[in-house]
Structure 1
Amino acid sequence: MMTTMMIKNVATYCTEVLTTSKCKELPFHNLIHTKEVVQNVKYLCAAMDIDDKDTEILIVAAWFHDTGFSKVYKGHEEESKRIATAYLRKQNANQDFIDKVCNCIEATKMPQCPTTALAELLCDADIFHISNAHFFYRKLLLRREWEVFCNNKVTDLEWHRLNLDFLQKHHFSTAYGKDTLEQGKQENISKVKQILNYFDT
């Protein structure tokens, strides 16, 4: 079990990685997103009455989950796991703790396929924004990121269709996600459909 000081050290380390590497150039997968995911984890852990030990695992996993973008774009989860493992071993974290952190990080790969309750919670925290009004701002940033870093340029119509398809296919994993976040996601689905109504199809 990690201490509060250890979590602070993890936060400091990951903040440095995310602000001194190519991550700082990413419109979406940057420090702001990571901080949001950490806050979402804390919120969900409180709402779902997750114990301190598991909360610590999830907070650490949230901090590390996108650090791999500092090395590669595609397949960044593997790099994130390597970065987390190397750091946590230096901090004398036990292997079980490291394995659980890495399992959570692995699960955030799209399409999300969590295999544990902890991984389910991190996945919902990572995609939390699709359940609220931030979705429309965040997807603008993601579109720009894909254009610049993936050379993936699409028309407005194609983009809105992609978003509708993603929202309709995605399923929250936790009970809280299914009961509460799903409602906001359905509202965003309705809004994207309204946007698509303005296009001649």
Structure 2
Amino acid sequence: MDCHRAETYVLRELRAHLSPTLYYHGLHHTLDVVQQAQALAEGEGITDSELLALLRTAAYYHDSGFMTTYQGHEAAGCDLARRVLPDLEYTPAQIELICDLIMATRLPQSPGDSLLAKILCDADLDYLGRPDDFWPISQTLRKELEVHGSAVDDHTWNLGQEKFLSTHHYWTTTATARREAAKQARLAEVRALLA
């Protein structure tokens, strides 16, 4: 499998075709997920080079479906992977694993027993437990949702944040250790705003 060409291709396509109104789901988010997935894989002790490469490819492609649709973007990302990756020497089994990882990130997340899927899910929502950029990133999501038809007042937004943070959980031991305490602090801040 030619991971370098797969990554180069999707990065070029994302730069050319992602809407500038994807304030949260822009290229910066994809690059962050790639970085977090690698860090989590290391923390979880994954050393198999093929598994690491498949996880990395899935991270690069996980939101590529936003180039064509807002709703159902995970399935659209899988369509892109199935169309592009065979020509880059990925086997059908590797492509289906990549698609399984992408589909696991659909909300509500459902990674099942797959450690790779758990890692990708945790990488995708890593910001929830980051002390420095949770608030600015959450505002980019709010701005993006407003553009795509989900404008809400401050109170309603904070209620949604409270519900999401209180029901979310990290799937891997590494993400839980790295992010859960800070996520609980953000939850307390949101509850203070609602009080």
Q: Tell me, yes or no, if structure 1 residue 33 matches structure 2 residue 29.
A: yes
* CA–CA distance in structure 2, aligned partners of residues 85 and 131 of structure 1: 33
When normalised by structure 1's length, the TM-score is: 0.91
Q: Kindly state the Cα deviation for residue 135 of structure 1 after the two structures are TM-superposed.
A: 1.4
Q: Kindly state the Cα deviation for residue 23 of structure 1 after the two structures are TM-superposed.
A: 3.5
Q: Tell me, which stretches of 5 or more residues in structure 2 are unaligned?
A: none
Q: Tell me, yes or no, if structure 1 residue 68 matches structure 2 residue 74.
A: no
* CA–CA distance in structure 1, aligned partners of residues 175 and 39 of structure 2: 12
1:23 alignment partner, one of 19, 26, 36: 19
2:83 corresponds in structure 1 to 86
2:142 corresponds in structure 1 to 143
1:131 corresponds in structure 2 to 129
* CA–CA distance in structure 1, aligned partners of residues 185 and 21 of structure 2: 31
* CA–CA distance in structure 2, aligned partners of residues 62 and 135 of structure 1: 20
What is the SS of the residue equivalent to 2:19?
helix
Q: How does 1:140-179 map to 2 (within 5 A)?
A: 140-149=139-148, 151-179=149-177
Q: Tell me, yes or no, if structure 1 residue 106 matches structure 2 residue 96.
A: no
Answer yes or no: is the 8 Å Cα contact 2:5–2:88 preserved in 1: no
Q: How many pairs were matched up? A: 192
Identical residues among aligned pairs (%): 32
- Give the counterpart letter for 2:32 in structure 1: E
Answer yes or no: is the 8 Å Cα contact 1:23–1:29 preserved in 2: no
Q: Kindly state the Cα deviation for residue 125 of structure 1 after the two structures are TM-superposed.
A: 0.4
Q: Kindly state the Cα deviation for residue 80 of structure 1 after the two structures are TM-superposed.
A: 0.2
Answer yes or no: is the 8 Å Cα contact 1:123–1:173 preserved in 2: yes
- Give the counterpart letter for 1:134 in structure 2: D
When normalised by structure 2's length, the TM-score is: 0.94
Which shows bigger deviation, 43-52 or 137-146? 43-52
Q: Kindly state the Cα deviation for residue 82 of structure 1 after the two structures are TM-superposed.
A: 0.7
Q: Kindly state the Cα deviation for residue 163 of structure 1 after the two structures are TM-superposed.
A: 0.4
1:117 corresponds in structure 2 to 115
* CA–CA distance in structure 1, aligned partners of residues 44 and 64 of structure 2: 27
Greater RCO (CA < 8 Å, at least 6 residues apart): 2
Q: Kindly state the Cα deviation for residue 178 of structure 1 after the two structures are TM-superposed.
A: 2.6
Q: Tell me, yes or no, if structure 1 residue 43 matches structure 2 residue 39.
A: yes
What is the SS of the residue equivalent to 1:173?
coil
Q: Kindly state the Cα deviation for residue 105 of structure 1 after the two structures are TM-superposed.
A: 0.1
